[in-house]
């Protein structure tokens, strides 16, 4: 009996160790390149209202009530719309933080399907929902974001040695 118990225990450890690389692989965070591509796609796809006083802030066209919550989440302090608007670096930092959070969530929800994750984040960005952007303006917007994301991901990344030699 004791021998069977030890065998079962060792067998369970072997199975667990054999599965652990699969679990780690499935839970790997998204890359900086993926976040950067999504942030840039959202910036390039941001609706241009043609009005300077449209109530939207930064190159990403963020609503004031949204940016307060995002800045508190990412920076641990609320930013005013003016602070967000006047600091492109801070705006990019906040948008990157939120984009990473949402992409990670959507990658998990879509079993690591990159296109589905980008679709979900783009829909959420525009509507606050991850689904339902299948027609009209929101569908066009999501398709634009996906296309821009794919273009950004296709761009070659510079290696650190190239950057240093410029």
pLDDT for 39-58, tens place per residue?
999 999 988 766 666 667 87
Q: Given this model, what pLDDT does residue 111 score?
A: 94
Rounded to two decimals, the pTM is 0.75
Q: Given this model, what pLDDT does residue 156 score?
A: 82
Please give the residue that has the higher pLDDT: either 161 or 147: 147
Q: Read off the tokens for 140.
A: 């066009």
**Could you write out the DSSP letters of every residue in 60-125?**
TTB-HHHHHHHHHHHHSS---HHHHHH-HHHHHHHHHHHHHHHHHHHHHHTTT-HHHHHHHHHHHH
pLDDT at 118 over 70: yes
Q: Read off the tokens for 155.
A: 């761009």
Confidence of residue 10 (pLDDT cuts 50, 70, 90): very low
CB atoms < 10 A from the CB of 88, how many?
Answer: 11
Cα–Cα distance for residue pair 137/104, rounded to 1 Å: 25
Please give the residue that has the higher pLDDT: either 107 or 5: 107
Domain ranges of the chain: 30-45+52-154
Q: Given this model, what pLDDT does residue 105 score?
A: 97
Min mean pLDDT across 27-36, 73-82, 121-130 is at: 27-36
């Amino acid at each position: 009996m004791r021998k069977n118990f030890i065998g079962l225990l060792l067998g369970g450890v072997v199975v667990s160790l054999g599965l652990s690389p699969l679990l780690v692989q499935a839970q790997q965070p998204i890359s900086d390149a993926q976040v950067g591509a999504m942030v840039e796609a959202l910036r390039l796809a941001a609706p241009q209202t043609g009005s300077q006083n449209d109530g939207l802030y930064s190159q990403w066209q963020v609503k004031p009530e949204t940016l307060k919550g995002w800045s508190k989440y990412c920076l641990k302090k609320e930013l005013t719309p003016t602070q967000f608007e006047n600091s492109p670096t801070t705006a990019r930092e906040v948008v990157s933080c939120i984009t990473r959070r949402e992409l990670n969530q959507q990658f998990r929800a879509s079993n690591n399907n990159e296109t589905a994750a980008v679709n979900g984040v783009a829909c959420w960005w525009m509507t606050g929902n991850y689904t339902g952007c299948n027609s009209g303006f929101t569908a066009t917007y999501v398709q634009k974001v996906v296309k821009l994301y794919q273009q950004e991901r296709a761009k070659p990344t510079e290696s650190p040695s190239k950057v240093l030699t410029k």
